[in-house]
Chain A
Amino acid sequence: MSDLKFSEKGMKKYEWLLTRYPDKQAVLLPALRIAEAEFGELGIPEMKYVADLMGISPARVYGVVTFYTHFRRAGTGTFHIQVCSTLSCALRGSQELADHIAKRLGIEMGETTEDGMFSVSKVECLGSCDTAPMFQLNDNYHENLTLDDVDRIIEDCKKESARGGAR
């Protein structure tokens, strides 16, 4: 038995959500967002909790979660760098950016550093093509990036982590 449970605030939000849709299943994506925020990631136990809470089968929840790419899955680093590599960004140097990040962190695209601090992946167009090259770092967009910017941002993350801040 896992002891996962939404906080009071999370539960209130979930109950409010139930009033916004005529069909319970529609609350699944928003409920998964609450789980993501409260538990930090969506692994099997977190998915199982949401399934039980909503009275739908865990297999179905798993099927839904894995269809999408933007949920924070179990094992993702504290800082998740998602480099846009679609055409407009590629035309303005996203490949060099991605190569540089990988080299800096000593990992390949799609991997997580051993200490669990950074994950880096290539993603498709983030709707910020006019500020290419760019990446999303957890919730935030970092735009018009130079390689120096990348070094600075990575250092900032390390400092933040040393101070105990996670996201």
Chain B
Amino acid sequence: MSFRKIFTPHLGDPNCHTLEFYEKTGGYEGARKALRDWEPDALIDEVKASSLRGRGGAGFPTGVKWGFVPKQTDKLKYLAVNADESEPGTFKDRVLMERMPHQLIEGIIISCWAVGIHSAYIYIRGEYVHAYQRLVAACAEAYDKGILGSKVLGHDFHLDITVHRGAGAYICGEETGMLTSLEGERGQPKLKPPFPAIEGLFGCPTVVNNVETISNLPYIMEIGAEGYKKIGPESSPGPKLYCVSGHVEKPGTYELPMGVNLLELINDHCGGVWKGRKLKAVIPGGSSAHVLSADECDVAMDIESLAAAGSMLGSAGVIVMDDQTCMVNALLNVMKFYHHESCGQCTPCREGTGWLEKIVHRIAYGHGKLEDLDRIDTVCDRMVGKTICVLADAAAFPAWSFTQKFRDEFIHCIEHGGSPEVKRRHPDRIGGGLHV
């Protein structure tokens, strides 16, 4: 079966974000079909059968998650769409919200019908002002045309969508952090269980799904679970947005079937490594994923294949590094990020991310010691699996894989007075004193 793009085919048209355009290209037919032909329970089973898996990072089966929400409950139920998109290297949800907001709204209608939800929130990161305005305008159009509100598409089903802006905090992408932030608090994650499906927003059962996950639903309605499952690998099928950045000729968002080969993605779609240079390393799934060295990059970009290769698909943020990249400096950048973004609740994370940054910093700036490499391992051991959320793990993974796979470079920096890149940029800062 030839691959049909569902997210990006119309992006060339400047009006693709409008309701008129969306309806002209078959928009809202999936939601109509769901409301007309599908009993909610059967619809959940259909989504389970499609094997759609979450696109936010963890890859959890969407239908299964919906099935966890209690059927008999006196409480209201909520949908919270995760549009926080802050994983370094990731920018696909922004494209979907800016250019295809009605596809997301249609997906929300289908999800809410299946789970029996009448109130949905889209939690969008504060920096995405343009996407926020597009979403608000699209919702207004939808209310105006009776697509949202008291009688969704003329059916006896009411649904409200509220677009809610975040305010700059990576941790609000973690689902419980996001819900806490939505409730108007500091966005600190909470221990699970209880999982949001049982006790989430305002203490009520809540479905949390990523923007891209939800945007798949109209298509599943159109071609059915059977058709959907045929796209890409059976265990994690579907069309997929890959975000490619760093040292390639043509960085961008690429829509391809799940399971595209990573080298093919880089070489055939993105014009190869820039400036005719050679590939050194790739982070395949946002900065929380283990880095792959060039000889590990002949791998299929799907959940199982990348897990088997010792990394993860994560958010599909593919960060490409050429052979002139200093891996010590690159890791320092990543460690700074996690230290800055740790919410500080858990000691192993708050202190561990700080230590990792400090140790990598001193290696880069020319006063590292060989023992520091073991020290990094020890710090990582004390972080992984020991905290409220997995941000600590996400910081430890790159620390561990960069220092394992590019050990020679770290040793070279330790033995030769620091990172060549730092020496070039800050000759005055090398060697003397700690500059953290």
Contact = CB atoms under 8 A, between A and B. Distances in A.
A129 B89 contact: yes
A129 B167 contact: no
A68 B167 contact: yes
Contacts of B125: 127
Nearest to A136: B127
A30 B165 contact: yes
B317 interface: yes
B408 to A, nearest CB: 20
Contacts of B341: 124
B246 A70 contact: no
Interface of A: 20-23, 25-30, 32-33, 63-64, 67-71, 85-88, 90-92, 95, 123-132, 136, 139-141
Interface stretch (B57-65, B99-107, B215-223, B330-338): B330-338
B181 A21 contact: no
Given A29-B166, A92-B246, A130 B251 contact: yes
Interface of B: 76, 85-91, 93-94, 125-130, 160, 162, 164-170, 181-187, 202, 243-247, 251-253, 283, 287, 317, 319, 321, 325, 330, 333-334, 337, 340-341, 425
A71 B165 CA distance: 11
A127 B129 CA distance: 12
Given A70-B126, A91-B321, A21 B168 contact: no
Nearest 8 A/B pairs, CB to CB: A70-B168, A68-B167, A129-B245, A28-B184, A88-B245, A69-B168, A67-B186, A130-B251
B167 A128 contact: no
A124 B167 contact: no
Contacts of A21: 162
Contacts of A23: 183-184, 202
Given A67-B186, A124-B170, A87 B162 contact: no
B130 A130 contact: no
A22 B76 contact: yes
Contacts of A68: 126, 166-169, 187
A130 B88 contact: no
B182 A26 contact: yes
29 contacts: A20-B160, A23-B183, A25-B183, A26-B202, A63-B186, A67-B169, A68-B126, A68-B187, A70-B166, A86-B333, A86-B337, A87-B89, A87-B287, A87-B319, A91-B246, A91-B319, A91-B321, A92-B247, A95-B425, A124-B341, A125-B89, A125-B337, A127-B125, A129-B91, A129-B245, A130-B244, A136-B127, A139-B129, A140-B130
